[in-house]
Amino acid sequence: PKKVTAYSSEHLFPFFSNMLPEGTNRRVICRVLKIDENDFFGLLETMADRDFIGAVNVRRIKND
């Protein structure tokens, strides 16, 4: 649900992990972009400007 405070987790929520490429596509993308294949947050952030399914926007929130 929408709320004012940010959600946080040490693990990527399943909703977002399902948006990431898998298998060979993930390996190729990670190799080209120099991202560790196990860095799900980094991969999600890097892929955030791509076309995701549904009305979802992903962006980094800067904490001051």
The per-residue pLDDT for range 3-61, each reduced to its tens digit, is: 777 777 777 788 788 888 899 999 999 999 899 998 888 888 887 766 666 667 777 77
**Model pTM score:** 0.64
List the Cα angle 60/14/18 in 5-degree steps. Answer: 85
Assign 3-class secondary structure to the chain. Answer: CCCCCCCCCCCCCHHHHCCCCCHHHHHHHHHHHCCCCCCHHHHHHHHCCCCCCCCCCCCCCCCC
